[in-house]
Amino acid sequence: MPDEEDNGLNNHLPDDLMDQLDHVVNKHYEKKEREDAQDLIQNSFAFLPLELQDLYHDMMEAYRAGKHEEASKLFEQWLDEARDLGLI
């Protein structure tokens, strides 16, 4: 008899479906995290630590200069630092 907690679903879902579900959950989490970061930047930028403000300015300069790959990497770094600080 299947365990009540998982209703036996894990035993019946194919691996490719589990991979798809994991992908959907991860994409949703990433989207939510980016929305939280955007809200933080828009609503509380002046209260962010200076290193995050500086990193954001560097990212925007790279973006405006057409260095989109560099800007993307800087944004990922910004997200990592904001996570480490418990801001998102």
| Owner of token pair 């194919």 | 14
Which value, in Å, is the radius of gyration of the alpha carbons in the chain?
19
Task: Tell which phi-psi region holds residue 11, choosing left (phi > 0), alpha (psi between -120 and 50) or beta.
Answer: alpha
pLDDT digits (tens, 9 = 90+) for 26-77: 787 888 888 989 999 999 999 999 999 999 999 999 999 999 999 999 999 9
Each residue's pLDDT tens digit, 13-24: 788 888 888 878
Query: What token pair was written down for 29?
Result: 């989490």
- Rounded Cα distance between 4 and 56, Å, is 47
Task: Give the confidence band of 1 by pLDDT, cuts at 50, 70, 90.
Answer: very low
Residue 3 has pLDDT above 60, yes or no: no
pLDDT at 28: 79
Contact 75, 41 (CB under 8 A): no
Of 5 and 16, the one with more pLDDT: 16
